[in-house]
Amino acid sequence: MTPLENEIAALKKELVNMWILVQSQLNKAKEAMVQFDKDLAREVLVKEKRVNSFELKIDMDCENIFALHCPVAVDLRFLLAALKINTNLERIGDIAAGIALYVVESAVNFDMDALEKTSLIRMYDEAVNILMDTRTAFEKEDTVLARSIFKRDDVLDDINDNAPGIVAEIIKADLNILPEALYMLSIIRKLERVGDQSKNIAEEIIFYVEAKILKHYESSQKNKSEDEE
């Protein structure tokens, strides 16, 4: 392998390690929420510093490769994608920390019946699975799997869209649940953003593997359809 190939392989491994850490943060934040484990939630908050350190290290490594090797073609696309994926992963890490903070701040446990009614647990599981599959798509350079993320994100969007009405009904039934209900609504909003970040990552995988830019693709197709009408 050439020096450039070695550095790109090392960078890819670093990104995968960051992915694993972020997935762990999301999973621990979920467990802390369900079990109302404030100590575990605090652990997530502490480890957020590791996610931030990963982001800075990967950014710096990308900059060094640009400076030393002047990559072109697929290597250049990979580095450009890596920078954006790195940012997306760091933002998902922030989301996990935000959920953990809600657990730390909440005075009482989240009502399991309310979690069920809002589909929050289902949404959480799907968000984590989507993130895991983006990692698989990245490692295997599987653009078919990457494209499947766009449709699966619709599940998260639907739950997010329905959440305000469901939460309003829960609050009407029991005003005492107001603080926890608002926390749950905020967590649903955060999980919807995990889906958005995962879609962004899927777009970057397709970009560097196939040299196709999908950013703003959905909006451009929608505008095209409207023009044809």
Lowest pLDDT segment from 41-50, 174-183, 207-216: 207-216
Residue 218 pLDDT class (50, 70, 90 cuts): low
Which pLDDT belongs to residue 224? 45
- 8 A C-beta contact, residue 228 and residue 98: no
pTM of the full predicted structure? 0.90
Q: Tens digit of pLDDT for each residue in 113-127?
A: 999 999 999 999 999
Helix (H) or strand (E) holding 109: none
Q: Tens digit of pLDDT for each residue in 158-193?
A: 999 999 999 999 999 998 889 889 999 999 999 999
Residue 225 pLDDT class (50, 70, 90 cuts): very low
Lowest pLDDT segment from 32-36, 167-171, 207-211, 215-219: 215-219
Across the chain, mean pLDDT equals 91
Domains of the chain are: 3-214 (1.20.58.220)
Give the amino acid at 199: K
Which residues, in sequence order, are CB contacts of 149 under 8 Å at separation 6+? Answer: 130, 133, 134, 137, 198, 199, 201, 202
Q: Indicate the SS3 state at residue 86.
A: helix
For 200-216, the DSSP string reads: HHHHHHHHHHH----TT
Given a cut of 50, is residue 221 above it in pLDDT? no
**Gap between the Cα atoms of 65 and 153, Å rounded:** 33
For 135-177, the DSSP string reads: HHHHHHT-HHHHHHHHHHHHHHHHHHHHHHHHHHHHHHH-GGG
Helix, strand, coil % over all residues of the chain, rounded to 5: 90, 0, 10
